[in-house]
Amino acid sequence: MGSQLGKTPTNSENFMNFMMREKTISPRFSRLNTPREIEVGEFVADSVQIGGGYAQQFRTLGINYRTLGDNLPSPTDAVAAIKTMKFGRVKIFNPNEKILTALANTGIEVVVAVPNEQIVEVGASPSAANAWVQQHVAAYYPATIIVVILVGNEIFTGTIFQSTWTSLVPAIQNLHAALESLGWSGQIKISTAVALDVLTSSFPPSAGSFRSDIATHIIQPLLTFLTTTSSYLFVNVYPFLTCSSSSDISLSYAMFANSTNDVVDGVLTYTNLMDAQLDAVYAASFKLGFASLRIAVGETGWPTAGDPTQVHAPIDNAAVYNRRLVRKALSTTQIGTPSRPGFIIPSYIFALFNENLKPGAGSERNWGLLYPNLSQVYALDLTGQLSDSQNSPSSDSSPLVSGSDAEFCAAIQPGQSCYLPNTLVRHADWAFNSYWQKYKGAGASCSFDGAGVLTSTDPREWRSTSGGITETKAQFQTPAELERNHDMRCRSSRHEVGVKN
């Protein structure tokens, strides 16, 4: 496939020089692209719709559905929720039989993954690839509309899956051959999902380049396959993580807001972090000779809670980020990125559910749009109608309350009824309990990533001593006992361990 920016560059041509020339002489660089240039991608069935007015969403927005929780609803109920939310695509992380069955005859397009642990086997044996396709694709297709097979997820992150690196492209090729033998290679594409750490440089975007340990012998043949078969490279992009780890990046820039910190890179201006990160991948691909590579955002989103140090994680920020993401995906004037205007980038929000068994920082368990009881963590619709005003972004240092939920802190402000004793633990007690009492009916828990605990002790019995925190008449109960006791409260777990206030 030729370049979608005009013509394929020579290997020696500088990326920014190429972009400057294209912006100057090529009508394709205009944001006012013709409908023909706003291409959707061969694996998308353009004619399929899932309800009035949702054709655009069907082509561009999907949801990641993981199951790292011990309290999640059945696949049947989860798929019903996906349909209600009007997501047209779902990405799952393993070929779960119950999920694939539940997705049958729904009209929802499905991206299914080969787990990292199976890459070596599939890459070493065409027969193993054939067996995988028979068991996990042919058994469900076409009733379950599988459109993409992702071989692995973020295998280049760290070294835990380094043994699979050289097997990636052979596995992809073997699976493609298996699909070809069934006549399905045109309908089902194959790719892999990578994190941004495949880049050794990403700022400014035009400086994007792939890591030297994978660029030539893995990434180059991978991109050759993807461009030859008109597939996409799935890239997981998390502005939240980048913003949280760098004081140089403003919250507004990470959240698609009009920013005074726009990045100017040659002839291109970046108003948000995601566009800059995606263009860094485009630039890196360009430098390997792939000007026509297409990208899909495999994962993006914003957590609703996190550890105390994750100050950008309040629920308001998550609502605003994902609402703006939806509006960007549906926009007719902001299609693509500054270096690739006019090309739709399919995007998958992470994630469907909060997952209480996911390891890592507190935010890792709080990316969901839904609580396990299927109630919404915050309102999100795929028409782009919800405004930011319902949830204002907040960089409040408290991971518990922010924006519209500031009521939880009102009573513990100086001079107010619950300000004294002025201790961290007592203030946490009040905020934890106030928040939990309001939202427990919607599925909220009292975990606060290990900082909260349920108790039936009257709040007046929560006392502190000069030597630390002690519990008076504590009555901590089992979950079953608490279910029978309506007079329960959420409080700081620091009372149990004697942490000084």
Distance of alpha carbon 242 from alpha carbon 195, whole angstroms: 12
Q: Please provide residue 401's backbone torsions phi and psi, each rounded to the nearest 5 degrees.
A: -140, 150
What residues contact residue 262 under an 8 Å CB cut-off, 6+ apart? 253, 269, 270, 271
Distance of alpha carbon 178 from alpha carbon 126, whole angstroms: 8
Q: Count the Cβ atoms, other than its own, within 10 Å of residue 485.
A: 12
Distance of alpha carbon 237 from alpha carbon 233, whole angstroms: 12
Distance of alpha carbon 169 from alpha carbon 156, whole angstroms: 13
What residues contact residue 36 under an 8 Å CB cut-off, 6+ apart? none
CA angle 259/402/67 to nearest 5° reads: 90
Distance of alpha carbon 163 from alpha carbon 135, whole angstroms: 25
Among the listed residues 22, 154, 481, 483, the single catalytic one is 154
Any catalytic annotation for residue 180?
no
Question: What is the Rg, in whole angstroms, of the alpha carbon atoms belonging to the chain?
Answer: 25
What residues contact residue 257 under an 8 Å CB cut-off, 6+ apart? 251, 272, 324, 393
Q: Which amino acid is at 317?
A: N
Any catalytic annotation for residue 299?
yes
Closest CA to 354 of 297, 313, 386: 313
Distance of alpha carbon 351 from alpha carbon 301, whole angstroms: 7
Among the listed residues 42, 97, 180, 299, the single catalytic one is 299
Closest CA to 316 of 234, 406, 247: 406
Residue 38 φ/ψ region, left for φ over 0, alpha for ψ in the -120 to 50 degree band, beta for the rest: beta
Both structure tokens of 452: 């909260």
Both structure tokens of 316: 């308001």
Residues serving a catalytic function are 154, 299
